[in-house]
Chains A and B, each alone.
Chain A
């Protein structure tokens, strides 16, 4: 059962801004709420029975509480307060799990290796490379030439790491020395450049896709 301490948004904000015991009680309730949700949030990543779970849950809960308290003024009341807090917890938890899972993977080694994997449960693709028809080889050549001409080295690297090797944006961004938000914008710009270039040449991504799905 979820924790039973029901409060309105206004009560949460008021209690968390109050002095001493009211605040402590609200913090304890919020902490219980976060801890209750984490096994569900992390279901695809880490079992609650895993010996690493308890320490991670404690770390995530502390960080979530700190962020929530530091950003109380940014809560606009358009959702339930606890939903807003669980949203923060989900980001904190998955960011930490991604960091742990990818900690030993360098961008260079990833880009020189075979297919990447997204989650600890995913399996890499080890299927043999199928035959490429002459038409597909021409398209490959064309697209690769376009990528070399349209994209910066950073965009090409990011697109390969995230779009092809399935490295999380957060992790690719860390290795590229930028924020996740900035990396998304960089990738968006790269996709737009390629889309416009294809259009200028009378091609569409759908046609490319169709050519390679016919294999």
Chain B
């Protein structure tokens, strides 16, 4: 990391240099994340507490994203929680939990 910071500092100090140490793809990824950022967001623990209720609501065909918009927003932003949600949904679909 020291290398990365040093490269950025060196790059900023050099006038006229047109080649950044970061690739343009980086900007796209960061810009998308900034665009989707809200002032208030749930943390991973907040979402984990609600994930079972959220998943069952999705399974019942309810609009879970409307019922828990902060959960949905977190799932859109956090790949770890999204993977766990998707894993849970696969299990619930396989076990027929929707019918209960």
Q: Which residues of A are interface residues toward B (Cβ below 8 A)? A: 2, 33, 36-38, 40-44, 78-80, 82-84, 86-87, 89-91, 93-94, 98, 107-108, 111-112, 115, 118, 125, 129-130, 132, 134, 136-137, 139-141, 143-145, 147-148, 153, 156-157, 159-160, 162-164, 166, 168-170, 180-181, 184-185, 188, 191-192, 194-195, 198, 204-206, 208-209, 212-213, 215
Contact = CB atoms under 8 A, between A and B. Distances in A.
Contact of A40 (B37, B83, B94): B94
B31 to A, nearest CB: 4
A112 B8 CA distance: 12
Interface string B17-30: 01110111111111
Contacts of B52: 78-80, 83-84, 86-87
Contacts of B41: 188
Nearest to B30: A163
Nearest to A139: B27
Counting contact residues on chain B (CB < 8 A from A), the size range is 35 or more
SS class, residues of chain A in contact with chain B: helix
B67 interface: no
Contacts of A208: 27, 31, 34
11 contacts: A2-B95, A37-B91, A83-B56, A93-B87, A132-B19, A140-B22, A147-B8, A166-B79, A209-B31, A212-B24, A212-B25
Interface in B11-53: 11-12, 18-20, 22-35, 37, 39, 41, 43-45, 48, 51-53
A212 B94 CA distance: 41
B44 A169 contact: yes
A140 B92 CA distance: 44
Contacts of A169: 44, 78-80
B34 to A, nearest CB: 4
A106 B24 CA distance: 24
Contacts of A111: 1, 3-4
Given A2-B96, A191-B37, A94 B88 contact: no
Q: Of residues B37, B48, B97, which shows the largest number of chain A Cβ atoms within 10 Å of its Cβ?
A: B37
Interface of B: 1, 3-5, 8-9, 11-12, 18-20, 22-35, 37, 39, 41, 43-45, 48, 51-53, 55-56, 78-80, 83-84, 86-88, 90-97, 100
Contacts of B22: 140, 144
B27 A140 contact: yes
Contacts of A206: 31, 35
A41 B87 CA distance: 4
A118 B84 contact: no
